[in-house]
A and B are shown apart, each in its own frame.
Chain A
Amino acid sequence: MHSFIDYTVNGLIIGNIYALLAVGLALIFGVSHLINFAHGSVYAVGAYVGWTCATLLHTPLPVTMLIVVVVCALLGMAIERIGLRPLAGTARIAPLLATIGIALVLDQILQIVFTPDPRALASPLPEWRLRVGGGTIGALDLLIAAIGVTSAAVLFGFLRFTKLGWAVRATAQDRDAARQMGVDTDAVNRTVFAIASALGGLSGLLVGMYFNHIDPSMSFQATLKGVVAQVIGGMGNVPGAIAGSLLLGLTESYGVALFGSSYRNLFSFVLLLLILVLRPNGLFASARATPPEPLTGTLIAPGRPLRVPGWMVVAAIIASAALPLVPGIPYVLQVLTNAWLAAMLAISLTLVAGTLGQVSLGHAALLLIGAYASALLALDRGWPVWASIPAAGVLTAVIGTALVAPAFRLRSHYVSIATLGVGEIVGLVILNWESLTRGPIGVTNIPPLSVGPIDLDSPERGYWVCLGVLVLLGLMHARVLSSHLGRTFRAIRDDDVAARAYGISLDRYKAIGFAVGGFSAGIAGGISAHMYSYINNETFTSAVSIVALTMVILGGMGNLLGAVLGAVALTAIPEMFRFTAEYRMLIYGAVLLVLIRFRPQGVLGTV
């Protein structure tokens, strides 16, 4: 029988663990205005280093902790060196995307080295439990609490009383002024990344021991929770991050007590959205403070896009359409069919992230909505597939736009966090709304593609359908971009203050942009559902969103043809070399990292 005290203790312990993550994120954001998406990966690395020490080397706990701290601190310094320093002076979203690339690389290396299977990480502490009221507290709980409090105290002392701590605070307040006063801001960044990553790694070890379970997928959830806790407390606010973490831990714990454990994450992301919408500067910021982000979230490197002549595009479409006539290449057709589907998502994202400047990290959720809409319309309502797919496009446009609408007033990083949160919420709602979506079982026996009596279920016909739909969607996007809407979107991206001063309503045009993008992505999701015949809430995960973003950056943000090119390249290249799934994600991460660093304008250039 669980008591209220048990849930409270559990919430505080989980909150304490989130705090170790969130404090690191807050420190990093404070000095560099970067949301370090690789933070969760450092945490996972900490857990695995701890597992290696404890299980293979049989080191005592204090030594294990020391090794974890040192390894993760070094890793943090490496992240700073690779992901942040070379990108100084670029768009603020660039280092954020670089850390996403680093995260992909680290996570995949963990998977390759330690396999994706979960491992047990037993706590070497004694098994006794202290009775408090109706509940109990164990030795590990006390250790976690002690480490949380100690690190907070040490951190406070460091920031308050040491010279380097002053330098960190000075850098956080005004980097240029600090530099003029002789503060080595690179050293400050390095120090902060080292401290933050040491705390993050320690947190990974403790969580592994707490649940007696570690696996490589723990990294992304950890990043999300740390970011949520930080947003609650206010970005870059260290005490706020601690308070936000405890609040998040308690909310989750009570939520689980009331509704069951599958609702845990739903609670955190709903809380995230509420905070972003109602108090984007965090719970503890003063109400009328101006938003700390004066910049819009663009990754637009000045430069001229490559002009691709129209006849080349037409020739490429004709050649692609003729490809199934070549005998004996079913594998190529299958890969390209996937590429056309990916390209539909990519043109959708390039419109939203590139042209409109709203860097969405949750775009895969639109695929999910489209896939479920079309599948359920066909199965439960008996709609023919040719009608359910366009309907899914419209539904996705409406639902997707409505879900992000509360985030329309946000800018830059906050848009990315909000879309990430919305994406997670969509997946969790699909998982939990069993009466509509069939919950974790997923939807089976989805009817194949067909128009009336014409069956389109052969590889060639599926290929033609995808290519044809992509061409139609591409023409639609091109038409929007060449109208006054195109320049209106770009005006919002370049300078939303000036855009408003010239009569442009941000809400209206962001809604139009998201609706057009949602339609294309919804169609892609709908077609996928009928081609796969089975979908569940994990058919399109956040990894798909990140891959789509990589495609878009590869082609050039806002560049329609570039998005198609990026989709084909990133779908086909890993296939050509027959990489396994782990290596494929590794390649995506590396490509993202290299692009951000060396060619942020992509292959065809930003538009």
Chain B
Amino acid sequence: MTALLDLQGVSRNFGGVRAVRGVSLTQRQGEFLSIIGPNGAGKTTLFNLIGGQDVPDEGSIALDGVPIAGLAPERIAAMGLARTFQHGRVFATMSVRDNVLVGAHHRLRAAKPRVPGLGALAELAVALLRPPSVAREELALRQEAERIVAMFGERLTPRLDQPAFSLSYANRRRVEIARALALKPKLLLLDEPTAGMNETETAEMAGIIAQLKAAGQTILLIEHKLDLVMRLSDQVIAMDDGSVIASGAPDAVRRDPAVIEAYLGHSALGDASAGEAVP
């Protein structure tokens, strides 16, 4: 069976800075893979390369066996990859509901008739005429959006029609994850989903991620909170200075001297204490 995500020798330089150097990794369907590493290790750059926001200078990236390096992000999204952003990129003036519905954009079928060459025109015509199939599809997606939002309990449901800019930081992160789920991704990339959250909120988010994992969702996670990583991951990759310094089972990576060195050598350890990182 081919890997769902396969990176071989991926590198990206910014001027003289080698942000990502020769990273290779594979992730199987249903596997939970986490990337840890100090700030500036190149984790988010790696996400940008996978998501198509950036293009690698060297190496290959394949999603489900199809090479995606250099493809436009919208094409990669349509292939079933959804991501969240480290600092949160919700659509600020749009309601929570519409934010989530945008996530389902590539799943629109009735609203986006496949007419070769004239797809945009057909899409406009269908939006104006609005045949029953389109109305049905929209209604179904709206109900699905509400179901996804309901996963976050009472945090988001009462705010379905509020604009995203009025939400708390933690709620905006939740909206982003809800939006990603609406894409029904084959592979879900989460970039520090619990950044800026307090302990209760982090525990809640961990519960939701565990629930997604149990439902069979393939997840690639960047996270600083090591206890969360250790609890959920099937496999962990540690990065420092753009390179992979260790990979394997969570416990093995945690004990790896290079990882301990990278963390203790740098001051940044996220919210996890040194005692948790070094057994």
Contacts and interface: CB of A to CB of B under 8 A. Distances in A.
Nearest to A492: B91
Contacts of A479: 127-128, 130
Contacts of B101: 484, 487
A569 to B, nearest CB: 24
A230 to B, nearest CB: 25
Nearest to B97: A487
Contact of A490 (B74, B93, B105, B128): B93
Contacts of B51: 501
Interface string B41-82: 000000000011100000000000000000011100110001
A485 B124 contact: yes
A399 interface: no
A494 B93 contact: yes
B102 A488 contact: yes
A606 B123 CA distance: 26
B81 to A, nearest CB: 9
A490 B91 contact: yes
B94 A501 contact: no
Given A476-B128, A484-B138, A502 B179 contact: yes
A501 B185 CA distance: 12
B120 A490 contact: no
B89 interface: yes
Nearest to B105: A503
Contact of B91 (A495, A508, A515): A495
A495 B82 CA distance: 16
A534 B126 CA distance: 38
A547 B73 CA distance: 37
A484 B127 contact: yes
Contacts of B165: 302
B91 A503 contact: no
A294 to B, nearest CB: 12
B219 interface: no
A503 B74 contact: yes
B123 A504 contact: no
B74 A495 contact: no
Given A302-B92, A479-B127, A498 B85 contact: yes
Nearest to B137: A484
B130 to A, nearest CB: 7
Main secondary structure of the interface of B (DSSP, over half): helix
Given A483-B127, A500-B74, A490 B94 contact: yes
A342 B108 CA distance: 36
B108 A484 contact: yes
Interface in B85-99: 85, 89-94, 98
Contacts of A490: 91, 93-94, 98
Interface in B121-138: 123-124, 127-128, 130, 134, 138
B12 to A, nearest CB: 12
A8 B8 CA distance: 56
A516 interface: yes
B221 to A, nearest CB: 17
B103 interface: yes
Contacts of A87: none
A499 interface: yes
B108 to A, nearest CB: 6
Given A479-B127, A497-B53, A484 B91 contact: no
A606 B93 contact: yes
A491 B77 CA distance: 15
A302 B93 contact: yes
A162 interface: no
A505 B123 CA distance: 13
B77 A501 contact: yes
A264 to B, nearest CB: 37
Contacts of B222: none
Contacts of A502: 74, 77, 82, 102-103, 105-106, 179, 183
Given A497-B53, A497-B89, A501-B77, A516 B124 contact: yes
Most A CB contacts (10 A, CB to CB) among B77, B91, B111 go to: B91
Interface string A448-488: 00000000000000000000000000001001100111011
A22 B119 CA distance: 43
Given A302-B165, A500-B73, A494 B94 contact: yes
A462 to B, nearest CB: 27
Nearest to A505: B74
B102 A504 contact: yes
B163 interface: yes
B83 interface: yes
A603 interface: no
Nearest to A519: B124
A364 to B, nearest CB: 24
A302 B128 contact: no
A503 B183 contact: yes
A485 B163 CA distance: 18
A511 interface: yes
A483 B73 contact: no
B54 to A, nearest CB: 10
Most B CB contacts (10 A, CB to CB) among A304, A491, A499, A606 go to: A491
A557 B57 CA distance: 41
29 contacts: A300-B92, A300-B93, A302-B166, A476-B128, A479-B127, A479-B130, A483-B111, A485-B127, A487-B101, A490-B93, A490-B94, A493-B93, A494-B94, A495-B89, A497-B53, A497-B73, A500-B52, A500-B73, A501-B73, A501-B74, A501-B77, A501-B82, A501-B85, A503-B74, A503-B105, A504-B74, A504-B105, A512-B123, A512-B124
Going nearest first, the 3 A-B pairs with the smallest beta carbon separation are A503-B106, A483-B127, A503-B77
Given A483-B111, A487-B94, A503-B105, 9 more contacts: A483-B127, A483-B134, A493-B93, A494-B93, A499-B102, A500-B52, A500-B73, A502-B106, A515-B120
Interface of B: 51-53, 72-74, 77-78, 82-83, 85, 89-94, 98, 101-103, 105-106, 108, 111, 119-120, 123-124, 127-128, 130, 134, 138, 163, 165-166, 179, 183
